[in-house]
Structure 1
């Protein structure tokens, strides 16, 4: 008689994707930021980032660049000091920047500076990385890619959304769904508008001139990006998080409250108006507003208010009028980190 054979069922094993630690550095007109994260892919191939370390410093690399066309020596020194500390942080967290596991992206201020090579040479010497002075279109692509990480946790919208990355020297408008459909980079932002129009305060004449300039740029941008197609408005970066924090009545910078926060366009515009006409004492009392952003936040809020107004008007008669803004803390820095994985 043949003995019975016991068969043990085989449990399917979910493939384990390797985890790669990567570093991303984003150097803009006002701020330099570092993200160290563990990058992996889920079973469907969707990339995931687990934050290990994040840092942000206001160095104002773009100080005076709009007027002089050159990087200020003191601003350059401040920025390179931060770069040196970031290189040390990466080494301490196990990221060899020179091995291809890091990417350094510089944007508007460096694009506009005649002496950008001084900055590039300094970064290369400190990190072993070749810093990339990216175009406005690449900046837009990276910002959109980063914003998609936050979109994974948001309710889907019935059509393409408009992602706005409002920086110090440039502002990117990107229309897209799972990928950009169209994008434009505009030479406007919190530092540029401050230096051009609001350096001596927000007077009626200065405010009118600033708004006129921003509206003209938006009209030009609308030739490339059809704002009327937007079914959602998603904002990235420091100005927009500040406006949202003000609208929510926060006492301090609270990532959990801010990331994915949805507020009405009316509330956003009211906060923009309050910030544009705020006093130094009011700005100092806002715990969510860093000291290095206090002197440029009025200009940033002015730009954001013009964008909101333009989008609301462009979508008002369509099937999906935009009535809210969404704030995302996932932005170009996350997009840079994801792009490292694409290169490894």
Structure 2
């Protein structure tokens, strides 16, 4: 075996991100300051359904996640046997649940995996590193504000190069704010207004000190799905998503359009990116608009990186 093959195997890692809405698997090789993605999988068990109201993870939701973890563990054993133990992290829904210890113990007992429960600040840091890892090289030295609109929380991290200058986690997300403010099958104008007001109140609790040179970068489903939709792609391709810019005007147009659609109509129009997301997507766009309005950003750049990418970088 040549030296390059040895090095590649040593640097190949897997991570699993247990989020409020999704459970994501990533297999990648660390290549200096970036990642070479070998495998990505997404499942949408919505672990955080009802957590904002009930403060507990439901038995049904926990079992759905256990099933996904079993599937991922089998995939890794069959296709990447050199990866003995994946990095597993959990975020907002588990962090907020009173029965989080029971869930973490269940994963350990039934799947044999130890889950690292990230704090909001750690989640923001992983978001920044993950976002940066998948962007073109010129973004490695620019001042960036990285944004991750999740199901239960929204993380923002300000940094330049490999130095993170500030970071914060807001208790607002697509699932949480949909359950609080937006009705089905589609939201009313008053509900949209209430959600937008709540976003601004939440953002007022913490402020970032940004400069004119700072660029806004967005990861996760709200931003990457919109990049897919705006390009009218037929298949989801990372090379088309990474570095794609979305203007505030474009985002406002999609908000107006999607506000008049039911979640079923949105899913029918964009099944590739709206499966498991259509009913919470408007809330994500409203949070995105609120952040851009507050800080005066006219454009956001999409990155397919995320917490799972940051977890691999942090462990390398």
> Which whole-Å CA distance do the structure 2 matches of 1:164 and 1:48 have between them?
18
**2:149 paired residue among 163, 166, 171:** 166
- CA offsets, 1:149-186, max 9 Å, x none? 123434577x5211101100000111111121101100
Residues 17 and 23 (structure 1 numbering): CA distance in 2 closer, same or farther, change over 3 Å? same
**Does residue 264 of the first structure (1) align with residue 247 of the second (2)?**
yes
Give 1:332's aligned residue: 307
Matched residue, 1:209 = 194
Q: Deviations over 1:40-83 (max 9, x none)?
A: x4xxxx24433222100011000000000000111111111001
Contact 1:214 1:303 in 2 (8 A): yes
Q: Whole-Å Cα distance in 1 between the matches of residues 250 and 4 of structure 2?
A: 46
CA drift at 1:228: 5.1
Q: Is 1:23 matched with 2:14?
A: yes
The partner residue of 1:32 within 7, 10, 23 is 23
Contact 1:235-1:325 within 8 A present in 2 as well:
yes
* CA spacing shift, 1:154–1:249, aligned 2, 3 Å: farther
Is the CA contact (8 Å cut-off) linking 2:135 and 2:242 kept in structure 1?
A: no
Label 1:93 to 1:291 Cα distance change in 2 as closer, same or farther (>3 A).
Answer: same
| Correspondence 1:185-224 to 2 at 5 A | 185-200=169-184, 201-222=186-207
Matched, 1:103 2:87: yes
State whether residues 20 and 48 of structure 2, in contact with CA within 8 Å, keep that contact through their aligned partners in structure 1.
yes
The 5 A counterparts of 1:171-182 are: 171-178=154-161, 179-182=163-166
Q: Which residue of 1 aligns with 2:119?
A: 135
Q: Distance in 2 between matches of 1:37 and 1:251?
A: 25
Q: 2-side partners of 1:245 and 1:49: how far apart?
A: 21
Which structure 2 residue ranges, 5 or more long, are not aligned? none
In 2, the alpha carbon distance for the partners of 1:156 and 1:87 equals 33
Establish whether residue 70 from structure 1 lines up as the match of residue 59 from structure 2.
Answer: no
Per the TM alignment, residue 95 of structure 1 is displaced from its structure 2 partner at its CA by: 4.5
How far, CA to CA, are the matches of 2:112 and 2:60 in structure 1?
A: 23
Secondary structure, counterpart of 1:34 in structure 2? strand
Runs of 4+ deviating beyond 6 Å: 14-17
The answer to whether the 8 Å contact 2:130/2:310 transfers is yes
* SS of equivalent residue, structure 1 residue 205: helix
C-alpha deviation, 1:221, in angstroms: 2.3
Q: Which has the higher helix share?
A: 2
**Distance of aligned partners of 1:104 and 1:230 in 2 relative to their CA distance in 1, 3 Å threshold:** farther
Contact 1:263 1:324 in 2 (8 A): yes
Equivalent position SS for 1:226: coil
TM-score (norm 2): 0.90
Distance 1:273 1:234 in 2: 23
1:144 pairs with one of 110, 114, 128: 128
